[in-house]
Amino acid sequence: MKSLARSLSKSHVGAGCSRGSSWSCSPTSPCRSSLRSALRIFFSQPSTEHEVVSNPSAQDVEQGSKDTVDEINAGRDEQEPKSDKFKREEEIKEEEKTSKSSKNTQQLVVFALGGLIGNVWHDFSDVIVPLYLTSRRFNGEVQFLITDLKPWWVEKYSVILKKLSRYEIIDFDSDKEFRCYPRALVGLRSHRDFGILPDLPPEGYTMLDFRLFIREAYSLPKDVPISYRDKPEKKPRLMLINRGKTRRLLNVEEVAKSAEELGFEVMVIEPKRDLNVTEFAKAVDSCDVLMGVHGAGLTNIVFLRTNATLIQVVPYGKLESMAEGFYSWPAREMKLRDVEYSIGAEETTLLEKFGEITL
């Protein structure tokens, strides 16, 4: 506990202180898609971003053969050339049919919502950060076509999705309309787990850019450290995220008390999956420090301000490399401070369950 207190004191700031695999595309793996054998998406010019490859199934081949036979039979049964008037009537019908299709000038991005979505770390690492990398450059002139769409997920992150695209989202699995686009990108671009590498295409984007984008999307205040200069009586605020089941702090009250003794105002939070992201983002923004055991809840550092601090409690079991890669590195890339506190063998409840452990 004394070591943890020292870690807490280091963070004193202010006045005192990436699924359904049908759609997958990355720089290291080819795009693959079932594409329903006739994707129902028409491009007025070929895309040079990614080549879309469709491998038809045996059923597709059989259906294609049947269609070919039907076309041949229809050709055999065709009557004598029709009159000009009749031809014009046919042309009008065809034009009316074509006019019912949707012709668009915006870009199209096609991706899936699957895998481990619902876990906030996976929401950001597997979908939101890659979607930002793929679509931010279009400045809203992009439309999302989503397969395996989960309405609850779209609603939860609607603020981010609307910031990236000014168009309605299309549910690929239920959409019946023919749509025309000048260009389509199939799959999302990803650099690494919960991270952006500025040297990889599209070049120039950083995790700091991403955090500032998130702040703008949720209309958070100006990105400057919280000032206590004019309010010396105000205490810096620490949000302590307590996990409900695994990797939880059994002495959370004692930890909170230690933080209060160091001069913090402490908020103990146990985030739920159905939380209101907009309201929670405002709560995190009001804090100087976000603290918790290594886990998905620490993903909420995206709502902190520049120079705020992440305190990550690393469970016993040589998990420091995971802690570094999943949260500490992204925190530093977002211009946040990070402190790690590693649980010792004498502090873990694993001793009670398995006896003495040597690692």
Q: Positive or negative CA dihedral for 97, 102, 104, 107?
A: negative
Please tell me which residue, 353 or 216, carries the higher pLDDT value. Answer: 216
List residues bridging with 269 in a β-sheet.
241
| CB 310, CB 331: distance < 8 Å | yes
Q: Is the pLDDT of residue 104 over 50?
A: yes
Q: Which of 52-56, 85-89, 225-229, 324-328 has the lowest mean pLDDT?
A: 52-56
Q: What is the CA radius of gyration of the chain?
A: 27
Strands, sheet with 179-181, edge to edge from the N-terminal-most edge strand: 41-43, 179-181, 102-103
What are the tens digits of pLDDT across the range 315-348?
A: 998 999 999 999 999 999 999 999 999 999 888 8
Helices (H) and strands (E) in the chain, counts: 13, 14
Euclidean distance between CA atoms 338 and 330, whole angstroms: 10
Domains along the sequence of the chain with CATH: 101-205 (no CATH), 237-354 (3.40.50)
